[in-house]
Structure 1
Amino acid sequence: MRLVSAELLKLRTTALWWIFAIILVPLWGLALGFNWLTTDAALSMSPEDVQEAGLGDLERLVSGLYTSGQFAGVLLVLLLSAILVTSEFFHLTATSTFLTTPKRERVIIAKMITAVIIAVIVWLFTTVLNVAITPIVLGTMNQPTFLGDAFVWQAIGLNGLAFVLWALVGVGAGVLIRSQIGATITLSVVYVIGTQVLSIVFFVLSEYVWEGFMDLRVLVPTFASDLLISGPTLAEDPPRWVGGAILVGYAVVMSVIGTLVTKRRDIA
C-alpha cells in the first residue's frame, strides 16, 4: 500500500491530472450530444433501416447514452496509465525508484493498482454525469428513463470493466515505450486514427477478399470494448463475452510483458 500511496502522491503533485479532467468534460459533452442525435435519428427510422445503418436496437442506443464519454474517457485513462511509467524515465527518477524498491515487479504492480484507481474514478465521474443527464435526454424523445431495466446497469458495469482493462493495457504500453512523448503520440494515434483506418481495412477486405473479415474486426481493442459494453450491432456480431475476453487478453499480455521487460531491462 505504501507504493500505491507513493504513486498517487506523484500523480497529485503534477498538473497532469486536472488538465486531463478539464479535457474530459467537453469530450464527454460531445459524446453525449452525438449519442443523443444518433438515438433521435434512429427512433424516427423503421427497424429495418436502423439495422441497415448498423445502429443496433433500442437497448444498444440507450446503453450508448448511459455510457457516453467512454471513447474519450478510456483514451485519457490509457494515456495517464502509460504516463505513470514513462514519467519515471522522463524525469530521471526510474533509477532511484527501482533502487528504493529492488523488486521491480512490485513497482509495476503498484502502478497497475494506481492506474485501476484512476480508471474507476473516471468511470464513476462519467457515470454520475450520464445517470443525471440521460433521463432528461430520453425525456425529450418521449422515452422512459430505462433505469429500472437490467441492461442499463449491465452496460454501466461492463463500461467500468472496460476502463479497468484499458488502464492495465496503458501501464504495459508505458513499460514497452519508455519515451513519454513517444508513448503519448503512439497510443493516441493507434487508438483514434488506427480504429478508423482498421474499420476501412476490414470493410474493404470483407467486400473484395472474404466476407468473414468483417467478423474479425472484433480483434481490434476499441471494437472489442464497444461490443463488451453495448452488445452486438449486426446480427452476425459475436456475443458480448467475446469482446470482454479479447480485452482481458490484451490486458494480461501487456501486463505480463511489461513486468518481464521491466525486470530485465537496464534502467541506468
Structure 2
Amino acid sequence: MFLRAVRSEFQKILTVRMWWVLLIVLVGYVAFTSGLLAGVFGGLGDQLASSGGNAPDITDAALPPIIYSIASSIGYVFPVLFGTLATTSEFRHQTLTPTFLAQPHRGTVLGAKLVTLAVFGALYGIAALVASVGLGASILSATGHSTALGDSDTWALLARVVLAMAIWAIIGVGLGALIPSQVAAIVIVLAFTQFLEPILRLMTSLADWAAGIGQYLPGAASDALVGSSIFTSMTAAASGAQSLEWWQGGLVLFGMAIVAAGLGYLTSWRKDVT
C-alpha cells in the first residue's frame, strides 16, 4: 500500500517540468556563487588579507569546505520551494481529491509525499554538489590551493550536504501542508529564507546571549549539520559566535521538519477537499 503511494507521488512529480526547471536554476546559481567565491578568496585571498580592509580572513584549510557547502548554504531554498510547490499544487489543482479517493488513509499519502520529496531533495543536493565541487575545486586547484578532496572529512561534509537538502525538502512538504495557499506559502518561504532569517542571524550574532538563540534558527541548524558555510564563517569571525555540533544541528533541523509535517497533517491535510 505504502509503496504504491510512493510510486504514485513519483509519477505526479515526473509528469511536470517543475522539478527539472528548479534543478537547472539551482545548479546555475550554485555554480556561479561557488565559482565567484573560489575566485575571490582563492585568487585574491592574499591581496584581500594584506589590504587591511574588512574582508574575512579565511584560512586555506577552511576555504574548500566553505566553497563546497555553498550547495546547501544558499541552495537550500530550492528543495524547500520544491517541497512546498509539490504540496500546494495538490490543493490548487485539486489533485488531492482523486488521490484521497484512491488512498483514503491520508497519513499514508502524506508519508509517501515526504519520502518522495526527501529523495528529490537528496537529488538536488547531489546536483548542487556537482556544481559547487566541480567548479570550486577546479578554481582552487588553478589558484594553487588545496581542494581537500582527498580528506575523509570533506567527503563526510558532502554527505551531510545531501542529508540537509533532503530534510529541507521534507520541511517544504510540511509547510505546503500547513499553508495550502500556494502564493502565500511561496511568499513566506522566500521572505523568511532570503530576508528575515539572515537578518535574525546577523542580529543574534552581535550579542553572546542572543547567539545561543540564533544557532537554533533553521538556516543556522542546517549550516551546523553540514559543518561549514560562508555565513557562519563570517559571523563567527566578526563575533566569535559558536554553532551547534553537526549532529545537534541535524536533530534540530529534522525536528523542525517533523513539527511542520505534523502540524500540516493536523490542520489542512485532514480537512475536506473538493
TM-score by length of 1: 0.86
Q: Work out which of the residue numbers 4, 11, 14 in structure 2 matches 1:12.
A: 14
What is the aligned length?
A: 261
Report the counterpart of residue 182 of structure 2 in structure 1: 180
Aligned amino acid, residue 201 of structure 1: M
- Tell me the equivalent position of 1:82: 84
What are the within-5 Å matches in structure 2 for residues 63-74 of structure 1?
63-74=65-76
Counterparts of 2:62 and 2:223 in 1: how far apart (Å)?
Answer: 10
Encode CA deviations 1:174-214: one digit per residue, 9 max, x unaligned: 0000011211121111111112221343256x2xxxx3112
Within a 5 Å distance, the mapping from 1:1-268 to structure 2 comes to 1-37=3-39, 39-40=41-42, 41-44=44-47, 57-203=59-205, 206=207, 211-231=208-228, 233=233, 234=236, 235-238=240-243, 239-261=245-267, 264-268=270-274
Q: Deviations over 1:4-30 (max 9, x none)?
A: 221121112222123212322321122
Could you tell me how far 1:144 is from its partner in structure 2? 2.4
Q: Distance in 2 between matches of 1:267 and 1:42?
A: 57
Moved over 6 A (4+): none
Alignment RMSD (CA, Å): 2.5
Matched to 1:216, the amino acid is: I
- How far residue 227 of structure 1 moved from its aligned partner, in angstroms, is 2.1
Could you tell me how far 1:56 is from its partner in structure 2? 5.5
One-letter code aligned to 1:25: V
Q: Aligned equivalents of 1:243 and 1:54: distance in 2?
A: 24
1: CA distance between counterparts of 2:152 and 2:198?
31
Gaps of 5+ in 1: none
Q: Which deviates more from structure 2 when the two are superposed, residues 125-134 or residues 188-197?
A: 125-134
Taking the aligned partners of 1:162 and 1:149, their CA distance within structure 2 comes to: 20
List runs of 5+ in structure 2 lacking aligned partners: none
Which residue identity is paired with 1:169? I
Distance 2:218 2:56 in 1: 19
1:236–1:199 CA distance, 2 compared to 1 (3 A): closer
Cα distance in 1 for partners of 2:221, 2:56 equals 16
Q: Secondary structure at the match of 1:196?
A: helix
- For the 8 Å contact 2:27–2:127, the answer to whether it is kept is no
CA distance in 2 between counterparts of 1:108 and 1:266 reads 15
Q: Which residue identity does 2:213 align to in structure 1?
A: L
SS of match in other structure, 1:69 = helix
Task: Please report how far the alpha carbon of residue 38 of structure 1 lies from its aligned counterpart in structure 2 after TM superposition.
Answer: 5.0
1:46 shift after superposition: 5.9
